[in-house]
Amino acid sequence: TEDAHYGGFGNSHTIFADKTEPYVYVVGSNVGGGGLLVINVSNPLVPVLEGTFTQEGYIHENTVFTYNGPDTEHVGKKISFNFHINANDRVTIVDVTDKTDINMIATTPVYTVRSLCHQGWMTEDHRFLLMNDEGDEASGNYNTRTHIFNIENLDVPVYIGYYSGPNASYDHNLYVTKGLVWEANYTSGLHILDPINVASAQLSMVGMFDTYTANNGRSYNGAWGNYPFFKSGIVIVSSIYEGLFVLRPKLSVNIRATLQGPYNESNGLMDDELRSQGLIPLQEPYTSLGYSHTNNAGGETIAPAVLAVTGPNAIVDWVILELRDAVDPSIIRTSRCALLQRDSDIVGVDGISPVQFDVAVGQYHVAVRHRNHLGVMSASPVEISVAVRNYDLGNGSVPLFGTQATYASVGRNVLWAGNTVFDDELMYTGQNNDRDPILTEIGGIVPTNTVSGYRTTDVNMDGNVIYTGQDNDRDIILTNIGGVVPTNIRTEQLP
């Protein structure tokens, strides 16, 4: 049974609850012409009407934000964006800080083919308002349109254009969070849009899930609403006849990194001699080396055809990609074994695609590790999203954690080579040093012996383990710890 009842209206279209204040906002009700009603629920057992905004007519939806955008006049104020439909198709921008004295700031300008100004949301920087007109697709024979207003000056909103979707379906509800726009678009399902170029009135689709597969036409079937705010990264979509869909979007990222061992300064590419000699295994090598994967990773395999590719996209070796906690980067949230191409791109096991992760959209430190090189990590968290972002850990564009995390080679900053025991230090002498395993690998007695194969002791990754002479794998270790004092140690710059 209910604990309390507010009987000030009989029905409404939408109720918006402010999570930061004890108020709920009612629009589209059967009182006040369907305008805005503000209910004080600080005492949930005694809800009280505290204010109204009804003079601008019927409101279909509204959203309330604590404004934190570039318009300093309104920073810190509670702003309600009210979406009016039918003859009043527009958005009123209203200051609801004082619920007993609500004031209108502005009204959005006219846009082409106004039909049903349904709902919208601000971008996370509070510079732009995105809005769905639920009826303009039919009225103007458009594909799904997302209208964009510049609201850097709340008093003078400017219409800058619209994004046209790939289908003719009606749009319905949209939300902006985690750097993305999440739209429920009836028959064409959930659309995930990247607003990185929103200032130019451009959005780009980076993901979708169709809950209604019969067609993508203009009818009231399919995805009606969505909720993308769960910390877990789960997104739920309500589909009118199909039910509730629980989704976990796949995240993708393009990372670039370069290994010192096979790096060729003359052409800026890594050599792929392990691949050309048929030495790269079809299953990732890190589990057998003792690496503990997280989030059900490990055991990745590739098809032989992946290793048949030549040129800049040829595979150099397996690497590990880690996403680490934004606050405590010693915590690995998830890891993946991936493939490193000659041109420094790190790709998925198909040899082409960005690496995918099954975690929530958010900020993470990105780390790259290799079986005989010291790993590196971004100094600050970076955005990992459904929208593919590009991070190059070898050209200085992404600051790296620690001191001298990489070696400055010609054209690229490269991971330090020589970590033959796959730990966190480069050592030329002493216990657990990286030099002795090379001698042991070739037999331990005759220093001029050599062996071939896929081995961590093959520091320059040419397919041969050589202790002395030309192209040997020992000298680079001494060079990388300073080249003079053999007891020096170089430590991996990972927390």
> Which of 494, 315, 485, 341 lies closest to 419, judged by CA?
494
Distance between terminal CA atoms of the chain? 54
Q: Where are the alpha helices (DSSP H) in 235-314?
A: 273-276
Where are the strands (E) in 139-229, listed by range? 145-150, 158-164, 173-177, 180-184, 190-194, 204-209, 223-227
Distance CA 309, CA 351 (A): 9
Distance CA 289, CA 420 (A): 11
pLDDT at 296: 86
Q: Enumerate the β-bridge partners of residue 142.
A: none
Apex 408 CA angle, 407 and 411, nearest 5: 130
> Which of 383, 291, 365, 287 lies closest to 329, judged by CA?
365
Q: Is beta strand 251-256 parallel, antiparallel or unpaired with respect to 389-392?
A: parallel
> Which of 296, 291, 288, 286 lies closest to 317, judged by CA?
286
Are the C-beta atoms of residues 304 and 313 closer than 8 Å to each other?
Answer: no
Say how many CA atoms lie within 13 Å of 31 toward its Cβ.
10
pLDDT at 86: 76
Distance CA 102, CA 89 (A): 21
The amino acid at residue 354 is P
The amino acid at residue 411 is G
Cα dihedral 430/434/439/443 (nearest 10): 110
pLDDT at 368: 99
pLDDT at 1: 86
DSSP H/E element including 235: strand 235-239
Q: Enumerate the β-bridge partners of residue 389.
A: 253
pLDDT at 114: 86
Q: Tokens for 316? A: 């150099």
The amino acid at residue 189 is G
> Which of 238, 188, 175 lies closest to 217, judged by CA?
188
> Sheet of 243-247: strands edge to edge?
223-227, 235-239, 243-247
Are the C-beta atoms of residues 263 and 414 closer than 8 Å to each other?
Answer: yes
Which residues of the chain are modeled with pLDDT < 70? none
The values of phi and psi at residue 33, to 5°, are 65, 20
pLDDT at 140: 85
Contacts 24+ apart (CB under 8 A), 210-216: 211/237, 211/239, 211/242, 211/245, 212/186, 212/187, 212/188, 212/239, 212/241, 212/242, 214/187, 215/187, 216/167, 216/168, 216/169, 216/187, 216/188
SS3 273: helix
pTM: 0.86
What is the percentage of the chain residues whose pLDDT exceeds 70?
100
Q: Tokens for 481? A: 């710890």
> Which of 355, 391, 387, 360 lies closest to 180, judged by CA?
387
Are the C-beta atoms of residues 177 and 135 closer than 8 Å to each other?
Answer: no
Q: Enumerate the β-bridge partners of residue 25.
A: 16, 38
Q: Is beta strand 450-452 parallel, antiparallel or unpaired with respect to 373-377?
A: unpaired
